[in-house]
């Protein structure tokens, strides 16, 4: 089937998935993954042999099982859309690795790079995008939907990307001033509503991901991505003493256990944080050290092994 016909069917798939509870951005991401998979297998028919071979090749190339599980899940939804009744294989879930959390210094490096660019129209906007992700914890899909009217002085209204409650979060004063400067002096008027625009219209999801990746690569942080800035936001608030349930509201999670993933502390950080407490709590070794050394007399006929091991010899006749 031609690429044009596949494109038409994928547009139908987007509508189908939105009708089944996906957000627009989630449905579009599923579509992009189906297009990628279609380059390796025939997605119009179910061929388990081809699917197993695809899984094997992807694993051999080093793809993470988590990423491959998402691809298989999207393929499952695609086959459901086409009317097939099939359950695709599921890969065993492996423990989640420590999520990447940028440091304060790395955030500053990213900002300094944006400030150093000569094209002020482009990079004033780009800086505002990165700063807004960092100071609000919004998802990439939520940021591109922000409109001018959503800026409410010292706060911003965020439309949830995942069917959770919309929310209003506070902005630092410098962030409000930065947005005001961008809107008044550098924003392209190519879209009457959108906060972030290009010469041709609203800023889109792909451009946003590419921007953060580009900046991260340039300053030596290749792991940087929009969601890591969301993680930085939530973790920074939690470390500063904001209650975990308040963090939950600010990031827009329906469930508290979802929020706890963003307040993760790496094993190294945790070890350093509790080192002094570990020394205090587990100080019982001091109580086990005898104050007086006890010597047990040995008649010389055999080595006093009991004494050497620290046990007192039993008296005769005692059991």
List residues with catalytic annotation. Answer: 139, 162, 227, 230, 253, 262
Backbone torsions φ then ψ of 238, nearest 5 degrees: -65, -45
Burial of 164 (0-12, 13-18, 19+ CB in 10 A): middle
Please state, as a whole number, how many other Cβ atoms lie within 10 Å of the Cβ of residue 79: 18
Rounded CA separation 83/102 (Å): 44
3-state secondary structure of 169: strand
143 CB contacts (<8 Å, ≥6 apart)?
129, 132, 133, 196, 208, 226
Q: At what angle do helices 226-239 and 244-251 cross, to 10 degrees?
A: 150
Rounded CA separation 247/260 (Å): 9
Burial of 166 (0-12, 13-18, 19+ CB in 10 A): exposed
Tokens 């094997």, located at residue:
56
Rounded CA separation 317/202 (Å): 94
């Amino acid at each position: 089937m031609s690429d044009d016909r596949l494109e038409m069917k994928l547009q139908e798939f987007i509508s189908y998935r939105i009708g089944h509870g996906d957000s627009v951005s989630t449905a579009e991401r599923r579509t992009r993954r189906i297009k990628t998979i279609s380059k390796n297998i025939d997605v119009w028919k179910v061929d388990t042999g081809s699917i197993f071979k695809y899984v094997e090749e992807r694993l051999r190339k080093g793809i993470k099982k988590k990423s491959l599980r998402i691809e298989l899940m999207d393929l499952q939804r695609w086959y459901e859309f086409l009317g097939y009744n099939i359950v695709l294989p599921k890969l065993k879930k492996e423990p989640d690795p420590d999520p990447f959390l940028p440091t304060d210094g790395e955030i500053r490096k990213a900002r300094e790079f944006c400030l150093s660019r000569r094209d002020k129209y482009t990079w004033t906007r780009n800086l505002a995008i990165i700063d807004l992700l960092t100071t609000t914890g919004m998802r990439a899909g939520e940021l591109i939907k922000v409109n001018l009217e959503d800026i409410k002085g010292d706060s911003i209204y965020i439309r949830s990307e995942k069917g959770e409650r919309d929310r209003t979060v506070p902005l630092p004063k410098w962030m409000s001033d930065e947005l005001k400067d961008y809107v008044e002096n550098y924003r392209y008027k190519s879209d009457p509503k959108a906060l972030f625009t290009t010469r041709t219209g609203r800023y889109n999801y792909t451009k946003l991901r590419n921007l953060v990746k580009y900046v991260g690569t340039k300053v030596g942080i290749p792991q940087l991505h929009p969601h890591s800035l969301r993680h930085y936001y939530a973790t920074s608030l939690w470390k500063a003493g904001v209650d975990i349930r308040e963090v939950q509201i600010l990031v827009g999670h329906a469930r508290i256990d979802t929020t706890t993933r963003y307040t993760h502390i790496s094993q190294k950080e945790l070890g350093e944080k509790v080192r002094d407490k570990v020394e205090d709590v587990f100080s019982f070794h001091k109580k086990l050290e005898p104050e007086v050394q006890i010597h047990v007399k040995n008649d010389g006929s055999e080595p006093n092994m009991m004494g050497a091991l620290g046990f007192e010899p039993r008296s005769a006749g005692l059991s």
